[in-house]
Amino acid sequence: MSNKNFLEDFPVLHADANGERLIYLDSAATTQKPTQVIESIENYYKTNNANPHRGAYKLSIDATKAYDDARKKVRDFIDAEFSKEIIFTKNATEGFNLLSSSYGMSNINEGDEIVISIAEHHSNLIPWQLVARAKKAILKYMYVNEDGEITKDEIKNKITPKTKLVSITHVSNALGTINPVKNIIDYAHSMGAKVIVDGAQSIPHMKVSVRDLDADFLVFSAHKLLGSMGLGVVYGKKELLQNMPPYIVGGDMIEYVYEQETTYAELPAKFEGGTQNVEGAVALGAAIDYLNEIGMDKISEIEHELIVYALEKLNALPYVKVYGPKNIDHRSGVISFDIEGVHPHDVASVFDSHNVAIRSGNHCAQPLMRFMDINATCRASFYLYNTKEDVDKLIEAIEKTYTMFSKWR
Ligand SMILES: Cc1ncc(COP(=O)(O)O)c(C=O)c1O
């Protein structure tokens, strides 16, 4: 599959009747979907749809199998040991809410410290503010240096024997920095703390093994990995999940319900109250099959080649400022930048008229923007369906935008 033009598989990216195609550079927000994933959803509804775990008839058994098979694919994809360590949620955000409400509220006590980084997405930040407030705990931040990286000293200064929990993004959605999560996990464990990894921007782009990392928990969203919206994943070590109280309660997550008390189902059902997004799980399974066929190392390689090419061109433009690591090996396929004298929102609007889709704003990372003393950036993010031609179109759009705004300078 190595020479395949992946664009073919993504209908929304095909050229129109005039030969124009969308240059989609916003995969950090959500990825486009290949035909294989789109068809898996249609096929599920045509052949397997029923409420899983609820019926004794064949169709419900088929739906249960489809749901369980997807869970096994996720287990293998992130190299977890047991299927029951994979919990399906609505998205990564709900995953962090599950962990903060269930693990956080029952394991964090007065005076304990929770450590996160200043570059966290709001979904891995606000939940910990709530736990810290409710439990009279302290929320501490690891700050980034001028390259958007967390240094070894910062890790050692902030994670101490008082730290009970570290929750850290593997890859920053705002700067593209790949954080040294393995080192952070090892150090946090040596201090007796548990670690949650936000894999929203890493799982789709690189090979990740929760066992190699020794992550206690890991969270990600299916829609950033070629899957559909409305499905997230929480991985947790079995012993930790078993000892946590449920988060969403109601049907399906119970064993026995009495008038005043309830006993809960075994993992993973304990954390999956109510009718689940089986269609989303099936689509995620198809997305994983698609990515596995290409190989995660190959995907990282494609993205690396693209950012090497893009950074060389961006750095050659004196009016463009690029944020994030100078060391390209510490970067994933997210590039945050500014065009001198043009507000990022204007940049994104003008780019749209050139059929180039990028993101502008604070990228759900307001504390990071405040820390860096900026309001917003432009963000181009890449995935396997992007090409060097897309980078050329991006550069062309930057040049045109700069020239256009030079009149007002
Ligand atoms: C690093 C990171 N974490 C968490 C999230 C939240 O994902 P979702 O909106 O799918 O819940 C995002 C989404 O952009 C993200 O980039």
For residues 109 and 196, membership in a common domain is answered with: yes
For residues 18 and 165, membership in a common domain is answered with: no
Catalytic residue among 41, 105, 364, 374: 364
Q: How far apart are CA 77 and CA 210, in angstroms?
A: 10
For residues 175 and 320, membership in a common domain is answered with: no
For residues 52 and 178, membership in a common domain is answered with: yes
For residue 365, give the CATH number of its domain. 3.90.1150.10
- Domain for residue 391, yes or no? yes
Indicate the number of domains in the chain. Answer: 2
237-246 residues labelled b (16+ CB within 10 A) or e (exposed): beebbeebeb
For residues 64 and 143, membership in a common domain is answered with: yes
- Domain for residue 1, yes or no? no
**Of the residues 274, 292, 310, which one is the last residue of a structural domain?**
292
- Domain for residue 256, yes or no? yes
- Domain for residue 106, yes or no? yes
326-364 residues labelled b (16+ CB within 10 A) or e (exposed): eeeebbbbbbbbbbeebebebbbebbeeeebbbbbbbbb
Ligand 1 atom closest to residue 29's alpha carbon, by position in its atom list: 14
Q: What's the token pair of residue 326?
A: 């100078």
For residues 287 and 299, membership in a common domain is answered with: no
- What is the per-residue pLDDT for 319? 97
For residues 218 and 345, membership in a common domain is answered with: no
Q: How far apart are CA 221 and CA 199, in angstroms?
A: 8
How far apart are the CA of 200 and the centre of ligand 1, in A?
Answer: 6
How far apart are the CA of 52 and the centre of ligand 1, in A?
Answer: 28
For residues 373 and 342, membership in a common domain is answered with: yes
Q: How far is CA 165 from the centre of its chain?
A: 20
- Domain for residue 16, yes or no? yes
Catalytic (active site) residue 364 = yes
For residues 284 and 315, membership in a common domain is answered with: no
- Domain for residue 319, yes or no? yes
- Domain for residue 408, yes or no? no
Q: How far apart are CA 210 and CA 207, in angstroms?
A: 10
Q: What is the pLDDT along the chain (409 residues), one digit of tens a residue?
A: 444 679 999 999 999 999 999 999 999 999 999 999 999 999 999 999 999 987 789 999 999 999 999 999 999 999 999 999 999 999 999 999 999 999 999 999 999 999 999 999 999 999 999 999 999 999 999 999 999 999 999 999 999 999 999 999 999 999 999 999 999 999 999 999 999 999 999 999 999 999 999 999 999 999 999 999 999 999 999 999 999 999 999 999 999 999 999 999 999 999 999 999 999 999 999 999 999 999 999 999 999 999 999 999 999 999 999 999 999 999 999 999 999 999 999 999 999 999 999 999 999 999 999 999 999 999 999 999 999 999 999 999 999 999 999 877 6
- What is the per-residue pLDDT for 4? 64
Residues having CB within 6 Å of any atom of ligand 1: 28, 91-93, 121, 123-124, 169, 173, 198, 200-201, 221, 364
**Of the residues 236, 266, 292, which one is the last residue of a structural domain?**
292
- Domain for residue 409, yes or no? no
For residues 287 and 338, membership in a common domain is answered with: no
For residues 45 and 171, membership in a common domain is answered with: yes
Ligand 1 atom closest to residue 223's alpha carbon, by position in its atom list: 10
Give the mutation target among 168, 171, 221, 234 for probing the ligand 1 site: most ligand atoms within 8 A of CB: 221
Q: How far apart are CA 68 and CA 224, in angstroms?
A: 21
Give the mutation target among 94, 96, 121, 126 for probing the ligand 1 site: most ligand atoms within 8 A of CB: 121
For residue 173, give the CATH number of its domain. 3.40.640.10
Q: Which domain holds residue 361?
A: 6-31+295-402
**Of the residues 292, 320, 336, which one is the last residue of a structural domain?**
292
Give the H or E element holding residue 393: helix 388-406
For residues 268 and 345, membership in a common domain is answered with: no
Q: What's the token pair of residue 288?
A: 């994983």
